[in-house]
Amino acid sequence: MASPTSQRTNKFTTLRLRFLMIMLLCHTPHESKLFSANQNHQKIFSPPPPPQQQQQDSNPHAAFDTLDLDGHFSFQNTAHASRDFGNRFFFRPAAVLHPKSVSDIASTVKHVYEMGPLSGLTVAARGHGHSLQGQSQADGGIVVNMESLTRRPSQGHLRGGGGGRYVDVSGGELWIDVLKETLKQGLAPKSWTDYLHLTVGGTLSNGGISGQAFRHGPQINNVQQLEVVTGKGEVVTCSEKQNAELFFSVLGGLGQFGIITRARISLEAAPDMVRWIRVLYSDFSKFSTDQEHLISLDESFDYIEGFVIINRTGLLNNWRSSFHPKDPVQASQFVSDGKTLYCLEVAKYYNSHHDDALLQQIQGLLSKLHFITSTLFVSEVSYLGFLDRVHVAEMKLREQGLWEVPHPWLCLFIPGSKMDQFASQVFGSIVTDSSNGPILIYALNQSKYLILSHQYDQFQQQKERTPT
């Protein structure tokens, strides 16, 4: 997620942006300051201390014995905090903080700040450990285990009001748990990531994109308020109208402006069921045109996503375990001839007792598309089952020993006007049939994604008008 300033600069560059996420296919250098799309991260950077200072601080116990905490530090069992989902970099911290209160985090960060740059200590917030290049690690520093700081949403504030329906949740809470608790009230957050076993603070520090982002914007567009521990150890509540500069900096700020300890998330009425549809294309231009057509409609699918398939024998047969071809005879006759295929994945939400109007609407939307007619696959699943679909795939990979492997992921924002050229060069020549990582393509309405920049513009204008 770019800074508010760079968002404003690019605001009128293109009508739409297409978000391309390439996973397991690309390698990024260690020096890169890229952050995972899934990790709440905050480091206080300081220059290396001189040798005498390093010797003085070799015992981390002494440096933090004076802190009065509700939680505790772990100085021995720190190995788990030296790795992350990227599984490529391993930096062992001097200690792991297991906070039981926000004040634990604030006291620790403040203490490190007051120790000054000569301490050489860094602080990194670790949620579910889904950073990719060691960003949630702190070599010889302090890792804050954010999952120790949880408060079930049912114990928070699940209610409506002047700002609409919302829920207050801990920054260390997993999105899957937020979903399960809000569903008990018939409500749910509006925008998601594909994988829900991530912390709230983690995805909000990055952006949070899935197939709902074309309509609601990323997750950071659906936050009413934050509680943040700053780099000085101050606990600050911020929103669009209160401490707005911090609010807009922290959302998508890659953890460089503070640690998110609480978030107020906007909610909407939750559906019961999902009609989940996949169709295939052999022509990228048709795939791209259809994707952009769907996100431009006022009445469209509720979820729109896509992915690239370096085709393998038996793909459609694998889908039949959870999807049903509209025409089984035609589907069995489809042969890809080893071509690169593009899958458009869409979904329509509904309640259990839907009427024929829903089916007619879906059929009307599909009739305008240009997919290979024999590759229409449909499934009906629960709303919870649909949103948690990637976790099911995770369990299968874990059983095969294929989850704890290196994940050199790369996320790119590409203007819609450049996508055909990009696809031709990358999918047509660089990516080969030996590539086995997923390639996801999200079409985004730029106007939805840059709501934050519009709000930030208003804040800046108000600031300029205010006498100093």
Catalytic residue numbers, as ranges: 130, 194, 305
Residue with tokens 């300051």: 33
Q: How far apart are CA 222 and CA 204, in angstroms?
A: 10
Classify residue 164 as left (phi > 0), alpha (psi -120 to 50) or beta.
left
Contact 113, 230 (CB under 8 A): no
- From 176, 200, 197, select the one nearest 188 (Cα to Cα): 176
3-state DSSP of 183-232: HCCCEEECCCCCCCCCEHHHHHCCCCCCCCHHHHCCHHHHEEEEEEECCC
Q: Measuring CA to CA, how many Å separate 409 from each of 30, 131, 360, 373, 397? A: 13, 10, 39, 33, 17
Please give the structure tokens belonging to residue 186.
């018939």
Q: Phi, psi (5° rounding) for residue 357?
A: -60, -35
Q: 411, exposed or middle or buried, with CB in 10 Å at 0-12, 13-18, 19+? A: buried
Pairing of the two strands 324-325 and 377-382: antiparallel
